[in-house]
Structure formats: C-alpha cells, structure tokens
C-alpha cells in the first residue's frame, strides 16, 4: 500500500453517511454516541456545537494529525487528517458506522448516500488554475482555447464522475479544487492556499437487506484505493508535486 501521506502536504480520509430522515438530536442521544466514540479513541475530547444542531468531537488540531467526527441533522461524518496509515482512518470510520444503528437508530433503509473521500492538499502560493494547466495539461478539445493570446485562465477545475454498476448507484468522482480567484489574479497578490485533489466513492440509496454499512464502506475503500493507486498518483498527484517543487 502506498504511503499516501507522502504524496501531498496534507492527506485525509473522510466518511459521510447521509440519511433520508432527521437524526436524533436530544442531549442524551448525542452525548451517548460521542462517548462511545471517545471510549475507542480517548484523545478525542474537544466537544462543541457548531450550529444549533451540528455537534463535533475532535482531537487537538495543533499536532497536524487529528481525528474528528460530527453529527448534523441528516449526516454522520467522520474524518482523520494526516493519519499514520489508511487503515487507522478506516478503523475510525468503521466504528462510527457500527455505532450508528444502535446509538442513532439509523436503519439500512435510511441511507441517502454513503461517501468515502480521499483528499490530498498541496500548499501553493500562485495561480492554481494556471498551475493545473501546466502540470496536468488541458482537455485536447480545449487546448487551443487555453492558448489564446493574452488570455489568463481564471477557472480550471478538472472533474470526472463515473458509475461502476448498471444502476448508477455506485459512483466515483475524481476532482480538483483550485482556490485562486479573479481578484488575486488581477492584483497579483496570492496567499498560500490549499489546492485539493479529491477521490470520492459513493453508494446511493437504501442498502439491501443483506448489506451493512461497514461492508459497504469496504467496497467504497476498494474503489478509492484502486483509483488513487492506479490512476491518480501517476497522472495527477505526482505531476502536481513536481510542478510545485519547480516553482
């Protein structure tokens, strides 16, 4: 398995379970769920309400590597920033999904979508859009457009979503998010910001009677790992790292 955290400045694996019905939000239910999370991962001790019905439990962020999880009205989220290994993050996500049916009464019927995201952030001061064009190239049909005399690229975020089954319920999205805006390009005043590459596998809809959330997560992990290992590293992540190193 690749040492994913060596491919970018920051690496993270997030899990998001979206539900069709509102999740329980009573004080007792929310605290009990997070207490069960904390028993497994004792360093997660920072608890706060982000909005009225958004609750977060996380580790200290100042170490650079940290776990977090949250409950929103219709989402259960779990993330690990700069994990020592992919399996460390997956262990956390499995635990969150194992608890959900019992602590938050989430049925397999209640699944709107289950996502697993692998994210790679590169810190770069400059025009992200231009860097992407130089490092990754342009779609052949748009290549000449990108060479118009005097033109400056102000939006360039490659994205591709594809289905992996006939019903289009299992999908994967490979995308790049630039954070350079027109004002920065006009003034030439750039800040160090994160240029992000995302690989997201998603299972849509209610699970079958013989499926579990954890088993579905494992399938999503297989998809993400395949796309990153066999496509994204050579074609996107390493070219971006090389282009930034040469700046």
The tens digit of pLDDT for each residue in 145-197 reads: 777 887 788 888 999 999 999 999 999 999 999 999 999 999 999 999 999 99
Q: Which domains does the chain have, with CATH numbers?
A: 4-246 (3.30.160.110)
Widest distance between CA atoms in the chain: 63
Model confidence over 95-144: pLDDT tens digits? 999 999 999 999 999 999 999 999 999 999 999 999 999 999 887 777 77
Cβ–Cβ < 8 Å for 61, 45: no
Which whole number is the average pLDDT over 26-39? 96
Q: What percent of the chain has pLDDT over 90?
A: 85
CA distances from 34 to 7, 47, 239 (A): 32, 9, 40
211 — pLDDT class (breaks 50, 70, 90): very high
pLDDT beyond 60 at 45:
yes
Cβ–Cβ < 8 Å for 30, 24: yes
pLDDT at 84: 94
pLDDT at 2: 64
The pair of structure tokens assigned to 230 is: 């066999």
pLDDT at 142: 79
pLDDT at 196: 98
Bin 130: left if φ > 0, else alpha if -120 < ψ < 50, else beta.
alpha
| List of E strands, 133-245 | 159-163, 170-177, 192-204
Question: Nearest-CA neighbor of 32 among 134, 89, 105?
Answer: 105
Q: What is the pTM of this model?
A: 0.94
Q: What percent of the chain has pLDDT over 70?
A: 99
Report residue 2: phi and psi, to 5°: -70, 145
pLDDT at 128: 95
Least confident of 24-28, 50-54, 70-74, 219-223: 50-54
Residue with tokens 């996107």: 236
Cβ–Cβ < 8 Å for 165, 135: no
Q: Provide the 10 A C-beta neighbour count for residue 198.
A: 17
Mean pLDDT of the chain: 94
203 — pLDDT class (breaks 50, 70, 90): very high
207 — pLDDT class (breaks 50, 70, 90): very high
pLDDT at 147: 75
Residue length of the chain: 247
Report residue 22: phi and psi, to 5°: -65, 140
155 by Cβ neighbours in 10 Å (0-12 / 13-18 / 19+) ranks as: exposed
The pair of structure tokens assigned to 236 is: 């996107």
């Amino acid at each position: 398995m690749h040492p994913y955290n060596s491919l970018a400045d920051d690496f993270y694996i997030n899990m998001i379970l979206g539900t069709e019905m509102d999740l329980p939000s009573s004080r007792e239910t929310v605290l009990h769920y997070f207490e069960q999370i904390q028993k497994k991962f004792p360093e997660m001790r920072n608890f706060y309400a982000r909005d009225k019905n958004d609750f977060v439990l996380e580790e200290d962020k100042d170490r650079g590597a940290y776990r977090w999880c949250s409950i929103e009205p219709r989402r259960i989220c779990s993330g690990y920033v700069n994990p020592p290994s992919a399996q460390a993050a997956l262990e956390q996500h499995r635990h969150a999904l194992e608890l959900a049916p019992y602590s938050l009464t989430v049925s397999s019927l209640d699944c709107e979508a289950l996502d697993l995201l692998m994210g790679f952030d590169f810190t770069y001061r400059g025009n992200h859009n231009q860097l992407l064009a130089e490092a990754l190239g342009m779609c052949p049909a748009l290549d000449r457009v990108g060479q118009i005399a005097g033109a400056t690229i102000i939006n360039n975020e490659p994205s591709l979503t594809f289905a992996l089954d006939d019903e289009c319920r299992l999908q994967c999205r490979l995308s790049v998010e630039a954070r350079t805006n027109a004002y920065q390009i006009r003034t030439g005043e750039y800040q160090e910001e994160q240029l992000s590459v995302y690989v997201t596998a998603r299972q849509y809809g209610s699970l079958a009677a013989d499926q579990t959330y954890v088993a579905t997560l494992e399938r999503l992990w297989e998809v993400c790992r395949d796309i990153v290992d066999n496509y994204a590293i050579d074609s996107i992540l390493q070219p971006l790292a090389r282009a930034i190193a040469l700046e």
